[in-house]
Amino acid sequence: MIVSEIMHKPTFVDSMSTVTDTAKIMCEKNIASVIVGSATDSKGILTERDVIKKVVAGGIDPKTTLVKNVMHPAVVTINENASVQDAVKLLMTHYIRHLPVSDDSGKVVGMVSARTVMDALGRLYVSERRRRSSRPPSF
């Protein structure tokens, strides 16, 4: 199974957007992360965890705080043709939960999360178990 089979459409926000406006977008779309910038020029990533830790717990006003001031500037990405197992490795190695997906030109074309990856691996496991249990016994 490859990443492009499980990714969902990415959402992009401008770095000059406020945290409040971005949080509203995240709530409306029921997503936990956004790419800051554009598909061809990503500046960073903002996650719900960033909002909680840096803004809410930090006592910062989300109405006046710009996304660029609380985002992660370094974005780890994975190619759309990489395996889901490779996505697991990246998520675990970098201690992240959200992984932008890029095409061969480097353009961001999707997003996967730890949950998306685990759901896909769970379905794959169940499918494999069913396939194996439906085989006749070999003697």
CB 80 within 8 A of CB 4: yes
Residue 107 lies in a domain: yes
Residue 54 lies in a domain: yes
Q: Which two tokens stand for residue 64?
A: 């006046």
Q: Which two tokens stand for residue 105?
A: 């030109």
Residue 33 lies in a domain: yes
Residue 56 lies in a domain: yes
Q: How many domains does the chain have?
A: 1
Rounded Cα gap, residues 45 and 98, in angstroms: 9
Note down the domain range covering 50: 3-133
pLDDT tens sequence across 59-90 = 999 999 999 999 999 889 999 999 999 999 99
pLDDT tens sequence across 9-58 = 999 999 999 999 999 999 999 999 999 999 999 999 999 999 999 999 99
Q: What is the CATH number of the domain that holds 58?
A: 3.10.580.10
